[in-house]
Structure 1
Amino acid sequence: MNDDQHAVTRRDTSGQHPISATAPRSDYEHIQGWGADLDHKNRPAYPMERTPPRLEGLHWERPEDQPLNMKIYYSTERPGVTPVFGTSTPPSGLSGKIRDIAYKLSENDIRHWLLLLFADRVNVVEGIADDLMRGHIPNVLAEMGAGAEFKHNRAGFVRKAVIASAIVGAGYYLYRRKARRSAKY
């Protein structure tokens, strides 16, 4: 491989399996910061590198790719899935659909991160609904640490309780006001 090419992992037409290939350097030069390690003048940490390097003579081989048997999300800035990845909570339900949308966007787009945060919140609601369907009533206050907050940060707990009560009270007031107006007409 010459200086104008580097190894990349591309995906087959189905998007499921990585395929190794070489691509010309010019294909990626439009990405700011890409190839910073090709020339030492472009490396911000170069003057502070150790001489000699710490792990001289170390031989490392890329680990065997983990099998892809579920949907794995990866950045649009990177050419494929890393050799090893987590599979503890595969995407599912509405939160999975929201993540599908988020991972179509670039990481430097605020919508990507906001959608991922929103998907996490939706996943919490899905988990509570799943518990209720299985006949388990979750103790939401205990799971959110209300007992520990009351014990170790009583002022914060009281402040949150007052704010939550005010919001619920205002919502109830507005609901009743709307119901009274509709009853008149």
Structure 2
Amino acid sequence: MTDVNRPYVADKPAKRESNEQLQARIPGWGADLDPKDRPSYPRERFDPGATGAHWEFPDRQKETYPRERSIEHGMLPPVFGTVAPLHGVSGIIRRTAYKRFSEARLAHWLLLILGDRVEAAGAHLRSMASLRPDDPITETGVRTELTAGGASALRSDRADTHHRWIDPLLVVGPWVLTGWIGLGLLRRILRRR
């Protein structure tokens, strides 16, 4: 296996082209080759022995269930997160994004956003079905904006003043839409009876 297929190696991969070849081919390449031109100098140093790594290639974490990974990568990284495995409809959408589309494609990211929105809608529905539904006024910070420290929402030096007009639509909109759909379903059920 070459270093190209094994990105997680202890040593730096060998250069394919010399510095002179790269400078001739790419305008501006190597502008920071001189250590004195780098902001991190003199702290920066390449000393693999100082890391304490005792491996050429790190031990791989076991994959207990199929993990999503970008199609650009030949394998999963040696260590990966397992806290929130994909599940339900949102998991199917996210798996499709990873299986079919490159990370360079807009479709990949739009599917991930769609999966997130489906997950959020499911959480809202579970909240409404429980005995303690979410409270969008206090949990989104709307009440705090109006009461904490006077009128913090009215300060003009804040960075979020430009998109403040859409915040009520994003916060309250899903609740109104869910309630409207729920009332429509309830009316339909009552008409059939």
- Taking structure 2 as the reference length, the TM-score comes to 0.56
For residue 150 of structure 1, report the CA deviation from its aligned partner. Answer: 3.3
> Separation in 1 of the partners of 2:45 and 2:124?
49
> Separation in 2 of the partners of 1:158 and 1:8?
47
Q: Give the structure with the larger strand fraction.
A: 1
Structure 1 residues 132 and 91, CA, compared in 2 at 3 Å: closer, same or farther?
Answer: same
5 Å-filtered alignment, 1:52-131, equals 54-58=45-49, 60=53, 61=55, 62-103=57-98, 104-131=100-127
Please identify, of 37-46 and 87-96, the stretch whose mean Cα deviation from structure 2 is larger: 37-46
For residue 45 of structure 1, report the CA deviation from its aligned partner. Answer: 5.8
> Separation in 2 of the partners of 1:138 and 1:163?
17
5 Å-filtered alignment, 1:131-170, equals 131-151=127-147, 152-154=152-154, 159-160=165-166
Look up the equivalent residue of 1:125 and give its one-letter code.
A
Which whole-Å deviations, capped at 9, do the CAs of 1:38-82 have from their partners, x for residues lacking one? 224448764524499603252633331111113321111111111
Look up the equivalent residue of 2:45 and give its one-letter code.
R
Over aligned residue pairs, what C-alpha RMSD do you find? 3.8
For residue 109 of structure 1, report the CA deviation from its aligned partner. Answer: 0.7
Which whole-Å deviations, capped at 9, do the CAs of 1:124-145 have from their partners, x for residues lacking one? 1112223344543122333323
| Identity within the alignment, % | 25
Unaligned runs of 5+ in 1: 10-34, 173-185
